[in-house]
Structure 1
Amino acid sequence: MIEFLKKNIFIIILSSITLFIGFLTFLTFIDRSFIELNQNNLQYLLIVNIFLLILLFLFIFLEVKRSIKIDIDKDGLKSNKRYITYFSLFTLIPSILISIFSLFLFSFALEKYFDKKVTTVVNNSYELAKSYVEEVRNKIESDIILIAFDTNKSAKFLNDNPKEYERFLKTQKLIRDIDEIHIIDQNKKLLFTNLDDLTRYLPPLDRALKLVLDDDRPLKIINAPQNISAAIIRLQAFENRFLYVVKYLDKDISKYLNESQEAINFYYTVEERSTGIKISFAIIYLIIVTLLLFISITIAIRFSSRFFRSINNLILASTAIGEGDLSSKVPEIKTDKDMEKLNKNFNSMINRLKDQQEKLIINERHEAWGNLARKLAHEIKNPLTPIQLSIDRLKEKYSNQIDSNEKVNFEENLKIINNQINQIGNLVNEFSDFARMPKPIFKKNNLIDIIKDNIKLLSEIDLSIKINFVPSKSHLEFECDKEQLGRVIFNLIKNSIESIQQKAENTGNFDKIITIEIFDKNDHISIVINDSGIGFSNFRKNIKDILNPYFTTKKNGTGLGLSIVNKIINDHNGKLNFFSVPNGAKVEIVFY
């Protein structure tokens, strides 16, 4: 997911900006934005929206096209493209239908929002609240006239007696249902009141007091403090006295009135800009749907490519194998666990098939060379005995007859012939051994002891060569033919010794070392022999040529040693590997 966000960061930023501008346009249409609501601003916002939307579509199209080229076209499978197309269409068609339905539903809901009944309810709710306030204010106007009439009539009775005024005003409060009744002078000084707490008294506005100085009619105070309705009137029976009454409205009535007014203003603003709101809603919806489509198509491409790439690799590998190329492998790529397991099992199967093929080829090759060796041994061995007998007769018959000066040459020549006969005899014996290679007899043996015994035999050949073998354990049981496996170890160490000796003939001082290591893994055992000899630099192109029978680089070699070694290892379900390393060679035996 993080990789997806990083890869498409530009599209995500562009989408966020486009979405923000879309919402800003919507808020501007309903006059709830920081941008002033006018024709020019709306026009600019719509142009910016359309430009960003086209830009977003363009970048999404290019990104999808690039993903198809990288993740689908590269695989070359028609089924992959077909499934991606189907998936995209099945995502696109419902999204388009839902978009059309949602836009239609929004348009229908908006039209219903401006229905005549809704408009009537909105208007009536405000009128009811307004009428309530007007009723309270009109009532206070009639109440103050009645209180003023009673006050004027009781002027003599009251006689500026504070107690009588207090009793009179409290009685008027109960009768008229008025919260505050004050008698003040033209300087707004409080003369008498029904309030026990005088700090609650709030004097009327100067302008209101001036209006009733020379007028006997009552004055409603419209701009009274919130939730208060007030009135003031001049008392005709008194000099410089005014009656000021206050009625508390319901504590939430002003709040409801203001909210109703705001709701009506908002309602008619939305009604006036309904077309623009529909456009901005459509833009916002298009942006969201486009992003969802892009994400779904991109995810479809990624998941499909991961799946079909593995299938494609399997098809290509199986085709190559069908044509006989067993070196073909399925690339190990990051995909679903099941597909990774399938790829791994397929490669493992090919490796086993290749190993079996190699073993079969080796066995066939050894059988063919064995038949040849048997025939050669037979054909060569037959004339060797008569030749040897003829040499002995020549020596007996003519050794006494030859002049003493020629006798030395005569005996020297006979000696050379004998040496050549012995060498041919040895070659015949090796041919016979190769042809008569017995099948291994498997028994449980200590592999460590087999290696140590052969090191002991070979360490005396050249004391200047150091053979290092320090196993991690003293006992490693392995089912094998002890004699044949000992022959393998013997031949390989002997080859390393001869390689070092051959290098020493042409090179000065160097470390003459043979290192032997053994590793016991879960599924195989490996024996590694490293030496500081001449290495395999002459066989970099095809290092396995040295395993072919009769292939040798030694002066007196028959080319059968490594071939015999390879056959023994194959008979033990193993594999022989050669590696060129700096300043030497590395041979690895792996037993499965």
Structure 2
Amino acid sequence: MTNFIKKNIIIITLFTITLFIGFLTFLTFIDKSFVQLNERNLQILLISNIVLLVVLFIFIFLEIKKTIKKDIDIGSSNSNKKYIAYFSLFTLAPSVLISIFSLFLFSFALEKYFDKRVTTVVNNSYELAKSYVQEVRNKIESDIILIAFDTNKSKNFLNNNENEFIRFLKTQRLIRGVDEIHLIDQNKNLILSTLDIKNNYIPPMDKALNLVLDDDRPLKIINAFENTSAAIMRLQNYDDRFLYVVKFLGKDISNYLTESQEAINFYYTVEEKSTGIKISFAIIYLIVVTLLLFISITIAIHFSSRFFRSINNLIQASASIGQGDLSTKVPNIKTDKDLEMLNKNFNSMIDKLKSQQDKLIINERHEAWGNLARKLAHEIKNPLTPIQLTIDRIKTKFTDQIKSNDQDGFKENLKIINNQIKQIEKLVNQFSDFARMPKPILMENDLVTLFSDNIKLLQELDNSIEIQFKKDKEKVILNCDNEQLSRVFFNLIKNSIESIQQKAENSSNFNKKIAIDMIDNNDHIKITIVDNGIGFGIFAANIKDILNPYFTTKKNGTGLGLSIVNKIVNDHNGNINFIPIDDGAKVEIIFSR
């Protein structure tokens, strides 16, 4: 998710701004935003919405196009394009249908919202509330007249008896259904009251009292913010006495009236701007749907590319393998676990096929060279015996006949011939050994012991060369032919010694060193031999050629040693690799258990 946000930060920012302007337009239409509601502001907001929406469309189009080019237009298969098109279509179609339906539903609901019956109910409810308040306020006027009439009539009874006067006022309060009755003077001082706690008395406004000083008519006092309705009236039969009556309206009635008034104002504002509200709502919906479509298509492209890139890689790899190229590998890419496992298994299968092909080629090559070696050994060995006998006869018969001063030369020539015959016999024996390479007799043997014995033996050839042998276990057991693997290790270490000696002929200022590492990984054994000799030289570019029979880099080599080594290693279910390094050579052997 974090990578998606970072990658599409511009689009997300643009979407946020566009959505904010869309909501601001909507709130302005209903007169609920900080922007003043007028034609100019609405025009600016609508144009801004349209421009931002077009820019958002363009950015999304370019991003999808770039993503398709990067992640979908890969390989020779068009399946990925087809499926991403289907996925996008199936995502787009429902979204468009839902958008149309939602806009229609909103438009229908808005029209119903302004239905005549709804308008009538809204108006009537407000009028009823106003009528209720007006009725309560008008009633206070009639109530104070009746209370004043009874009070004036009872002057003689009440004038000199305060307790009776208070009881009379309380009775009037209950009869008339008011909340407070006060008797005050022209300075608004409280004389008598129905309140038990006199501190709760709130005097009327000066202006109201002044209006009734010389007027016997009652005066209504309206204070809607306090939810009260009051009236004040001069008492004719009393000197400097005024009747002050208070009636509380229903709880929060003024708040209800205020809210109702605001609701009605909002209702008619929405009715007046219904077209603009529909447009702004449509813009908001388009913005949201556009982003959702972009996200869904992007996700579709992402998962499609993850899936089809792996499939395309497998198709291309299988095509290469079908043409005989077993060096092909399926690239390791981040994808689903199952596809990663498929790629891994496919590469493992290719490696096994390659290994089996190499072994088959090696076996066929060795068999061919073995047949050739047998024929050569037979054809060469047959004339060697008569040649040797003839040399012996010549030596016996003609030695005494040759002058004494020529005998040394004669004997030297015969010696050279004998040496060459022995060299040919040695070559023939090597041919025979190569041709008669027996199948390995497998038994459990300790490779550590095999290496140690060969190192001790070969160390005598050159004590100036340091041979380091490291192993991760004291014993490394392998089911193998002891004699054949000993021959392998002997030849490889001997080659390293000879390589170092050959380098020492030209430069003696270096530490002669052979490093041998043996690691037992349970399912396979890895052996590495590294020396700092002359290395592979000009043969490094075609390193595999040194495994061919009769291919040699030595002056007097037959080219059979490494070929025999390779044959033995392959017979033991192993692989051998010759790796050129900057200062010397590296041989790596892996035996699979």
For the Cα contact (< 8 Å) 2:467–2:515, is it kept in 1? Answer: yes
For the Cα contact (< 8 Å) 2:472–2:520, is it kept in 1? Answer: no
Match of 2:448 in 1: 448
SS, match of residue 300 in structure 2: helix
For the Cα contact (< 8 Å) 2:184–2:192, is it kept in 1? Answer: yes
Shift of 1:164: 3.0
Match of 2:176 in 1: 176
Match of 2:6 in 1: 6
Shift of 1:582: 2.5
CA shift digits 1:288-339 (9 cap, x unpaired): 1111110100100110111011110011011111111111111111111111
Match of 2:545 in 1: 545
- Supply the AA of the counterpart residue of 1:238: Y
Match of 1:77 in 2: 77
**Is it true that 1:93 corresponds to 2:93 in the alignment?**
yes
Q: What pairs up with 1:577-588 in 2 under 5 angstroms?
A: 577-588=577-588
**Is it true that 1:421 corresponds to 2:421 in the alignment?**
yes
Q: What pairs up with 1:88-237 in 2 under 5 angstroms?
A: 88-223=88-223, 226-237=226-237
For the Cα contact (< 8 Å) 2:222–2:228, is it kept in 1? Answer: no
Q: What pairs up with 1:311-460 in 2 under 5 angstroms?
A: 311-460=311-460
Shift of 1:348: 0.7
CA shift digits 1:20-60 (9 cap, x unpaired): 11111111111111111111111111111111100100100
Match of 1:500 in 2: 500
Bigger drift between 77-86 and 464-473 goes to: 464-473
- Supply the AA of the counterpart residue of 2:32: R
Shift of 1:125: 1.4
For the Cα contact (< 8 Å) 1:212–1:233, is it kept in 2? Answer: yes
For the Cα contact (< 8 Å) 2:22–2:280, is it kept in 1? Answer: yes
CA shift digits 1:443-464 (9 cap, x unpaired): 1111111111211221111111
**d(CA) in 2 for partners of 1:240, 1:557:** 147
**d(CA) in 2 for partners of 1:78, 1:588:** 43
**d(CA) in 2 for partners of 1:259, 1:160:** 50
- Supply the AA of the counterpart residue of 1:382: N
For the Cα contact (< 8 Å) 2:225–2:254, is it kept in 1? Answer: no
SS, match of residue 35 in structure 1: coil
- Supply the AA of the counterpart residue of 2:204: P
TM-score, normalised with respect to structure 1: 0.98
**d(CA) in 2 for partners of 1:111, 1:9:** 39
Q: In 2 relative to 1, CA 380–225 (structure 1 residues): closer, same or farther, beyond 3 Å?
A: closer
**d(CA) in 1 for partners of 2:270, 2:325:** 74
TM-score, normalised with respect to structure 2: 0.98
Q: What pairs up with 1:236-255 in 2 under 5 angstroms?
A: 236-255=236-255
**d(CA) in 1 for partners of 2:464, 2:112:** 106
Shift of 1:160: 4.8
**d(CA) in 1 for partners of 2:501, 2:320:** 45
Shift of 1:167: 2.1
Bigger drift between 236-245 and 47-56 goes to: 236-245
Q: In 2 relative to 1, CA 453–127 (structure 1 residues): closer, same or farther, beyond 3 Å?
A: same
- Supply the AA of the counterpart residue of 1:266: F
Structure 1 portions without partners, runs of 5+: none
SS, match of residue 181 in structure 1: strand
**d(CA) in 2 for partners of 1:543, 1:224:** 105
**d(CA) in 2 for partners of 1:158, 1:526:** 125
How large is the Cα RMSD of the aligned pairs? 1.3
CA shift digits 1:202-225 (9 cap, x unpaired): 111111112212221111112365
**d(CA) in 1 for partners of 2:192, 2:527:** 120
- Supply the AA of the counterpart residue of 2:431: F
Match of 2:22 in 1: 22
Match of 1:52 in 2: 52
Match of 2:477 in 1: 477
SS, match of residue 335 in structure 1: coil
CA shift digits 1:379-415 (9 cap, x unpaired): 1111111111122122222222322222221111111
Match of 2:63 in 1: 63
Shift of 1:436: 1.1
Match of 1:556 in 2: 556
Bigger drift between 258-267 and 221-230 goes to: 221-230
**d(CA) in 1 for partners of 2:474, 2:79:** 59
For the Cα contact (< 8 Å) 1:224–1:230, is it kept in 2? Answer: no
SS, match of residue 344 in structure 1: helix
SS, match of residue 233 in structure 2: strand
Report % sequence identity.
74
Structure 2 portions without partners, runs of 5+: none
SS, match of residue 470 in structure 1: strand
**d(CA) in 1 for partners of 2:303, 2:522:** 35
**d(CA) in 2 for partners of 1:96, 1:5:** 25
CA shift digits 1:89-131 (9 cap, x unpaired): 1111111111111000001001111111111111121112111
For the Cα contact (< 8 Å) 2:535–2:584, is it kept in 1? Answer: yes
- Supply the AA of the counterpart residue of 2:184: I
Bigger drift between 345-354 and 259-268 goes to: 259-268
SS, match of residue 506 in structure 1: coil
Aligned length: 592
SS, match of residue 529 in structure 1: strand
Which aligned runs of 4 or more in structure 1 are off by greater than 6 angstroms? none
Shift of 1:540: 2.2
**d(CA) in 2 for partners of 1:555, 1:259:** 111
Shift of 1:264: 1.2
